Amino acid sequence: MRTIVLLPGMEGSDLLFGPLKEAAPLGVDLISISYPPGEANSYADLLPLVRAILPRERPFYLLGWSFSGPLALMITAERTAGLRGVILAASFVRKPIPLPTWMRHLARPALFKLYPSSYQVKALLSGTEVRSLRKLVAEAHSNAGAVALASRARAAMAVDVREILKACRVPVMYLRAEDDRLIAASRAEEARRLLPTLIVESIPGPHMALVTNPTKSWQALQRFMDAVEGAPGAG
């Protein structure tokens, strides 16, 4: 049995992992988390919540989607027992948008209230016309609330875990979405420059390819886990 801990994107909801869970192959146990509403959504706030759900008596993989990629890497810095590998899915190791760091202060709740959820959904799904997914993303945004979304946006604009990645002692894979309009392809290449052993896999789809294309996602995830467990000294 393989165990994967799933950390959500900016929406902070495990609702969006629904399609990935439904497509999970036999022999895989998935543990997911939703982040709380409110202001306490910085990486420092969320790290203890992630620690609390990690398996204690079995090996596991950690998948950090988009916003949560840095959180997954922070866990590696703690040399957590049982951690076999990390997957960075459409993520980043420093601010995802090349804007001055001071501009993070502009990410206030009012901005997310004024920015219609329909536009947010369009950016995440690009041209993917899957009504059920659009409804799921809109629901996740609504549940999160503008205060939490703003807090996470500010955190993402200030984060820098490049040194953690460089020092990472467990295998890492970057799962890149080919049609991602939010996270540039250069983020994957930056991660590989920092950690030359990092594996980059690309799957067709938008920023949310993890759920719009769960079949290809699982093929990439299984190749990574097979490689980790087949490496000399694994287990």
Looking at domain 2-230, its CATH superfamily turns out to be Alpha/Beta hydrolase fold, catalytic domain (3.40.50.1820)
Our separate counts of H helices and E strands in the chain read: 10, 6
Residue 198 has pLDDT above 80, yes or no: yes
Quick one: which of 28, 32, 25, 26 has its CA closest to 6? 32
- Strand arrangement of the beta sheet that strand 83-89 belongs to: 28-32, 2-7, 60-65, 83-89, 172-177, 199-203
Pairing mode, strands 83-89 and 199-203? unpaired
User: What is the model's pLDDT at position 124?
Assistant: 47
Identify the H or E element spanning 200: strand 199-203
| Residue from 76, 94, 96 nearest 85 by CA | 76
Q: So what's the pLDDT on residue 95? A: 86
For residue 224, give both structure tokens: 């990574």
For the whole model, what pTM was predicted?
A: 0.88
Instruction: Give the pairing type, strands 199-203 and 172-177.
Output: parallel
Q: Give residue 103's identity as a one-letter amino acid code.
A: M
Residue 193 pLDDT more than 70?
Answer: yes
Give the least confident one: 29-38, 162-171, 186-195, 207-216: 207-216
Is the pLDDT at 8 greater than 90, yes or no? yes
| Winning range, highest mean pLDDT, from 149-153, 189-193, 229-233 | 189-193
Span 98-107, pLDDT tens digits: 655 545 545 5
Tens-digit pLDDT profile for residues 80-93: 999 999 999 999 99
Query: pLDDT > 70: what percent of the chain?
Result: 83
Mean pLDDT for the stretch of residues 188-213: 94
pLDDT (average), residues 8-16: 93
Find the range with the poorest average confidence among 74-83, 96-105, 106-115, 215-224.
Answer: 106-115
Task: Calculate the average pLDDT of the chain.
Answer: 87
pLDDT of residue 145: 85
Residue 51: the pLDDT is 97
pLDDT at res. 29 = 97
Greatest pairwise CA separation for the chain in angstroms: 53
b vs e for 203-232, b when ≥16 Cβ sit within 10 Å of the residue's Cβ?
bebbbbbbbbbbebbbebbeebbeebeeee
Which pLDDT tens digit goes with each residue over 114-157?
444 444 444 444 555 455 677 777 788 788 888 999 899 899 99
Of the two residues 208 and 162, the one the predictor is more confident about is 162
* Segments making up each domain of the chain, as ranges: 2-230
